[in-house]
A and B are shown apart, each in its own frame.
Chain A
């Protein structure tokens, strides 16, 4: 039998062991916690790293996209500058040629002056169109709005183009009841004048018909200009309202800047309108412009609301 002293010693030893085990356990627990914490941190770290990598990938992709877009815009700009300089140089060539030939008495003076004037006017038109395009692209084309009747405007444009018609060309109208629109009169005149002079240019023999049709339910007016010319070449129809696209892809010496329809579309769009073109089933082409109608406010509430400025962007 163990003596009391021995039992006491064993107990003491046991207590010590328990204490030691407890300590070891605590140490292990602590290490385990550290380990878990470390793992958690690592997981977080990896997750963060992956997130960052994804973000980086996404940013790179976006940058590549922006880069491509910039390159595309740069190509368009180069193309624009190249064609614009071509369009500016051509009438200058014409002017120089007429002047040189007239100086040498190789051409009738009257014919030379007419040629010089025509080429100078063309140069002026190209310069004006290029300026308009540049303003449209930078969002700086401003509009002076006023209220006016669309039929009045159409009739005045018709009066101004009538003198250029040959006896093989006729101008017809079929106008709905007069409605007022709020728009930049000069710019809308520019659009309609451009489309009408195109129609006259391409319809050597035949008729040009201008119609208006009120779309009262939509609060809009539709203006259509139909010609009986050769129609629009199917190759250029999808991009007709682009820059430097001219209807005369198959024509001969008919010149135009190829900017008129691009400018027209920008102007109509800035007026919350639509412009479109299609070839007629039988012959010729039709241009259709839809513009919002101005509804006069109730009596006593007229104010001076007729003037506002739209900014095209």
Chain B
């Protein structure tokens, strides 16, 4: 395990498979994290807005959740659309996709988010999932990349910039995790 933060995190999860959602909850609560489960895209956005409206602490006013875990294929609204809405409210919200779709299918949709995203590819071991959730290096590096992406012209980094970003993503490789940045996939 690397860079595991022992602090308790607030995690919002959207997962329509009941068994898998329960498994996330059990494994994360075992690590003393606070988990809010939602079963579809609409419910997830509602839970996010609701947490913003009724913050339990001053910090919650800006970031109601330390992490949002999104499945992609869900009833009512898919994960990428949920991500778009959440990022509109809070462009710095940390999001992790957990999907059974192959990367070929997901890349096109994730491209629309105009940022580097992390995806944990189902099926994965529970330990791999917990490690990625608690990993602080991944969000820190993704955030740095995304600041650069948004500073570049039309949010299109030059070839040189892109090559540096890809190197960074290669450095934070983890089992079952891949990253997407525009058309580029690092796994």
A82-B102, A100-B126, A252-B39 known; A94+B26 contact, CB < 8 A: no
A86 in contact with B19 (CB, 8 Å): no
A93 in contact with B30 (CB, 8 Å): no
Give chain B nearest CB distance to A232 CB in angstroms.
Answer: 15
B102 in contact with A101 (CB, 8 Å): no
Please measure, in the bound complex, the distance between the C-alpha atom of A250 and the C-alpha atom of B42, giving whole angstroms. 11
Please measure, in the bound complex, the distance between the C-alpha atom of A96 and the C-alpha atom of B123, giving whole angstroms. 7
Q: Does A85 contact B (CB under 8 A)?
A: yes
Instruction: Specify which chain B residues have a CB less than 8 angstroms from the CB of A101 in the assembled complex.
Output: 23, 26-27, 126
A94 in contact with B19 (CB, 8 Å): yes
Please measure, in the bound complex, the distance between the C-alpha atom of A238 and the C-alpha atom of B125, giving whole angstroms. 40
A94 in contact with B102 (CB, 8 Å): no
Chain A, range 85-107, C-beta contacts under 8 Å to B: 85-87, 89-90, 92-98, 100-101, 104, 106-107
Q: Does B105 contact A (CB under 8 A)?
A: yes
Please measure, in the bound complex, the distance between the C-alpha atom of A115 and the C-alpha atom of B20, giving whole angstroms. 10
Q: Does B73 contact A (CB under 8 A)?
A: yes
Instruction: Specify which chain B residues have a CB less than 8 angstroms from the CB of A248 in the assembled complex.
Output: 75
Instruction: Specify which chain A residues have a CB less than 8 angstroms from the CB of B127 in the assembled complex.
Output: 100
Please measure, in the bound complex, the distance between the C-alpha atom of A226 and the C-alpha atom of B145, giving whole angstroms. 56
* Contact bitstring B1-31, A, C-beta under 8 A = 1, else 0: 0000000000000001111110100110010
Give chain A nearest CB distance to B137 CB in angstroms.
Answer: 23
A249 in contact with B75 (CB, 8 Å): yes
Give the interface size class of chain A.
Answer: 20 to 34
Q: Does A253 contact B (CB under 8 A)?
A: yes
Q: Which of A89, A95, A119, A255 has the most CB of B within 10 A?
A: A89
Give chain B nearest CB distance to A26 CB in angstroms.
Answer: 80
Please measure, in the bound complex, the distance between the C-alpha atom of A251 and the C-alpha atom of B16, giving whole angstroms. 10
Instruction: Specify which chain B residues have a CB less than 8 angstroms from the CB of A118 in the assembled complex.
Output: 19
Count of chain B residues near A, Cβ 8 A = 27
Chain B, range 106-157, C-beta contacts under 8 Å to A: 122-127
Give chain A nearest CB distance to B82 CB in angstroms.
Answer: 16
Instruction: Specify which chain B residues have a CB less than 8 angstroms from the CB of A90 in the assembled complex.
Output: 17, 20, 100, 122
Instruction: Specify which chain A residues have a CB less than 8 angstroms from the CB of B40 in the assembled complex.
Output: 252
Q: Does B104 contact A (CB under 8 A)?
A: yes
Instruction: Specify which chain B residues have a CB less than 8 angstroms from the CB of A95 in the assembled complex.
Output: 123
Instruction: Specify which chain B residues have a CB less than 8 angstroms from the CB of A115 in the assembled complex.
Output: 19
A94 in contact with B39 (CB, 8 Å): no
Instruction: Return the contact of B19 from the options A85, A98, A100, A104 (Cβ within 8 A).
Output: A98
Q: Does B167 contact A (CB under 8 A)?
A: no
A93 in contact with B27 (CB, 8 Å): no
A89-B122, A252-B75 known; A97+B19 contact, CB < 8 A: yes
A92 in contact with B23 (CB, 8 Å): no
Please measure, in the bound complex, the distance between the C-alpha atom of A87 and the C-alpha atom of B123, giving whole angstroms. 11
Instruction: Return the contact of B100 from the options A78, A93, A97, A106 (Cβ within 8 A).
Output: A93
Give chain B nearest CB distance to A164 CB in angstroms.
Answer: 18
Q: Which of A90, A106, A249, A252 has the most CB of B within 10 A?
A: A90
Instruction: Specify which chain B residues have a CB less than 8 angstroms from the CB of A106 in the assembled complex.
Output: 26-27, 30
Residues on B facing A (Cβ under 8 Å): 16-21, 23, 26-27, 30, 39-40, 73, 75-76, 99-102, 104-105, 122-127
17 residue pairs from A and B, CB less than 8 Å apart: A78-B104, A85-B102, A86-B73, A86-B101, A89-B122, A92-B123, A93-B100, A93-B122, A94-B19, A96-B126, A97-B27, A101-B23, A104-B30, A118-B19, A119-B19, A251-B75, A255-B17
Residues on A facing B (Cβ under 8 Å): 78, 82, 85-87, 89-90, 92-98, 100-101, 104, 106-107, 115, 118-119, 248-253, 255
6 nearest A-B pairs in the assembled complex, by CB-CB distance: A97-B23, A100-B126, A89-B100, A93-B123, A253-B18, A92-B123
For the A-B complex with A85-B100, A104-B30 known, give 20 more contacts whose Cβ atoms are closer than 8 Å. Answer: A82-B101, A89-B100, A89-B123, A92-B122, A96-B125, A96-B126, A98-B19, A98-B23, A100-B125, A100-B126, A100-B127, A107-B26, A119-B19, A249-B75, A250-B76, A252-B16, A252-B18, A252-B75, A253-B17, A253-B21
